[in-house]
């Protein structure tokens, strides 16, 4: 049987990580993989996470199984953090998953059981793993326009026109904030218009919220999600704790499913529990327990929020510095989009040849579509990148 296997296309971002590691040049700069790094290049364990782990270690008396859907305190804490006033507990089922990716997968499995004929609408471009998972599952997909290559801002007119073609029961996959890979985001008024289109078409919003707290703030980054989920009769949200709690390897995520009628909640919850059982049985506990411990303790929550805010403002400062350097070097404001984008990523708009040149000549690594991870920079490397961008003729 194994002789029939075909090589899988390598994940381009993970392949780039390997290439960077093997590069022996001094001063190489990694703007590839989507992981937050502090100015020293470290992906730190957050203070509140460390403290929560100590408390768990002291208090934990057993490692026996928890429940198939995960720890109730984690689910309620995350539901409130994501949806706040838009949370309708009678109509919302929640599931602890293996990271945000696990939540995405379970959301798609759930939606497919509910509507075997659905098409999933994804932004062009989107996180490549969205497309890969959808293709692997054999789900029909459609793309909607999202990004304007000329301005490096959103193409909202294109997006609206394409979303209007969604059918009742289709899923519309939206990035809750900090769009990956472009960095261009919807305004709240645009979210409102998207919500109206969803209402008109009967398509179901499916929000991927992987960077809450990395853009404009914890509440600000969830405002669009809350708006569409609050308005929609049915909705799905896949949230990740990887970035905002910095617990990437612990694999903590949550799937929220809003149903049309409270009478359907238990059915949805039961199906979600079944999906965990069929896939990996019990979800991992450690990351979820860290998050729960933080969210259930006011002092830990305050400290976590303060550190997350430092992280967010640090990235914003780097954006502003990079835009300023490029304004200075080019004598134009054509790179100002870098400071308008939010989150870890920006699509620079360089050609693959220019991306290659920047890598070859400066040992600066970014993804082939010219997505750069702002968090891979620091005050000293920003001017080096700015110069490389100009020299490559971007
Ligand atoms: N969605 C998007 C858009 C992402 O960028 C990521 C992480 N790269 C995820 C979901 C999933 O993150 P994880 O599974 O690591 O929690």
When mean pLDDT is compared across 15-19, 87-91, 209-213, 377-381, the lowest value belongs to 15-19
| Mean pLDDT of the region 365-370 | 94
Residues of the chain with CATH 3.40.640.10: 65-296
Q: What is the pLDDT of residue 211?
A: 98
Give residue 13's pLDDT.
Answer: 86
Q: Is the pLDDT of residue 380 over 90?
A: yes
- Residue 33 has a pLDDT of 86
Distance from the CA of 212 to the center of ligand 1, in angstroms?
Answer: 11
Q: Answer yes or no: is the C-beta of 99 below 6 A from any ligand 1 atom.
A: yes
254 SS3 class: strand
Instruction: Answer yes or no: is the C-beta of 321 below 6 A from any ligand 1 atom.
Output: no
Sign of the torsion angle spanned by Cα atoms 116, 119, 122, 127 = positive
pLDDT bracket for residue 284 (50, 70, 90) = very high
CA of 26 from ligand 1 middle (Å) equals 30
Contact 170, 200 (CB under 8 A): no
ipTM of predicted complex: 0.99
Identify the band that residue 11 occupies on the pLDDT scale cut at 50, 70 and 90: confident
SS3 95: strand
The dotted CATH code for 65-296 is: 3.40.640.10
* Fold held by 11-45+305-391: 3.90.1150
Residue 307 pLDDT grade (very low, low, confident, very high; cuts 50, 70, 90): very high
The finding on whether 119 has its CB within 6 A of some atom of ligand 1 is no
Mean pLDDT of the chain, nearest integer: 97
Active site includes 12?
Answer: no
Ligand 1 contacts CB of residue 34 (under 6 A): yes
Instruction: Check if the beta carbon of residue 292 is closer than 8 Å to that of residue 71.
Output: yes
Q: Give the residue among 252, 289, 285, 254 at the shortest CA–CA distance from 272.
A: 254
Helix, strand, or coil (residue 58): helix
Q: Is 242 in the pocket of ligand 1 (CB under 6 A)?
A: yes
Question: Could you report the per-residue pLDDT of 174-200, keeping only the tens digit for each?
Answer: 999 999 999 999 999 999 999 999 999
- Determine contact, residues 253/97, Cβ cutoff 8 Å: yes
> Residue 358 — very low, low, confident or very high, per pLDDT cuts 50/70/90?
very high
What is the per-residue pLDDT for 14? Answer: 84
> For residue 356, what are the contacts with CB-CB under 8 A and spacing of at least 6?
none
* Annotation marks residue 210 as catalytic: yes
Q: What is the pTM of this model?
A: 0.97
Query: Where would I find the beta strands (DSSP E) of 231-312?
Result: 235-240, 252-258
Q: Which atom of ligand 1 is nearest to the CA of 248?
A: 15
**Region(s) of the chain under CATH 3.90.1150.10:** 11-45+305-391
> Which residue's CA is the nearest one to ligand 1's atom 8?
34
């Amino acid at each position: 049987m194994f002789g029939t296997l075909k090589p899988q296309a390598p994940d381009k971002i993970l392949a780039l990580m390997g290439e960077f590691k093997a590069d022996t040049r001094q001063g190489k700069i990694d703007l590839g993989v989507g992981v937050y790094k502090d100015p020293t290049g470290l992906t730190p364990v957050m203070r509140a996470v460390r403290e929560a782990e100590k408390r768990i270690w002291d208090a934990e008396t057993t490692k026996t199984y928890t429940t198939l859907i995960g720890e109730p305190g984690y689910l309620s804490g995350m539901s409130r953090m994501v949806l706040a006033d838009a949370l309708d507990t009678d109509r919302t089922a929640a599931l602890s998953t293996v990271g945000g990716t696990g939540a995405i997968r379970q959301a798609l499995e759930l939606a497919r059981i509910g509507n075997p004929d659905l098409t999933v609408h994804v932004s062009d471009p989107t996180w490549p793993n969205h497309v890969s998972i959808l293709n692997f599952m054999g789900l029909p997909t459609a793309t909607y326009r999202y990004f304007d290559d000329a301005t490096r801002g959103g193409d909202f007119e294109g997006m609206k026109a394409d979303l209007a073609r969604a059918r009742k029961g289709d899923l519309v996959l939206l990035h809750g904030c900090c769009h990956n890979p472009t960095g261009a985001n919807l305004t709240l008024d645009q979210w409102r218009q998207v919500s109206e289109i969803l209402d008109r078409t009967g398509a179901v919003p499916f929000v991927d919220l992987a960077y809450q707290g990395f853009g404009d703030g914890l509440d600000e980054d969830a405002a669009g999600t809350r708006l569409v989920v609050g308005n929609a009769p049915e909705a799905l949200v896949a949230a990740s704790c990887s970035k905002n709690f910095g617990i990437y390897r612990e694999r903590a995520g949550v799937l929220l499913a809003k149903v049309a009628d409270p009478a359907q909640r238990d059915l949805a919850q039961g199906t979600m529990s079944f999906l965990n059982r069929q896939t990996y049985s019990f979800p991992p506990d450690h990351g979820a327990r860290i998050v729960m411990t933080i969210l259930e303790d006011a002092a830990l929550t305050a400290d976590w929020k303060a550190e997350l805010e430092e992280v967010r403002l640090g990235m914003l400062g780097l954006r502003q510095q990079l835009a300023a350097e490029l304004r200075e070097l080019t004598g134009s404001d054509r790179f100002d989009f870098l400071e308008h984008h939010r989150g870890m990523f920006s699509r620079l708009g360089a050609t693959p040849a220019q991306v290659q040149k920047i890598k070859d000549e400066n040992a600066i690594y970014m993804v082939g579509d010219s997505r750069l991870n702002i968090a891979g920079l620091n005050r000293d490397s920003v001017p080096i990148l700015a110069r490389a961008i100009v020299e490559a003729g971007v």
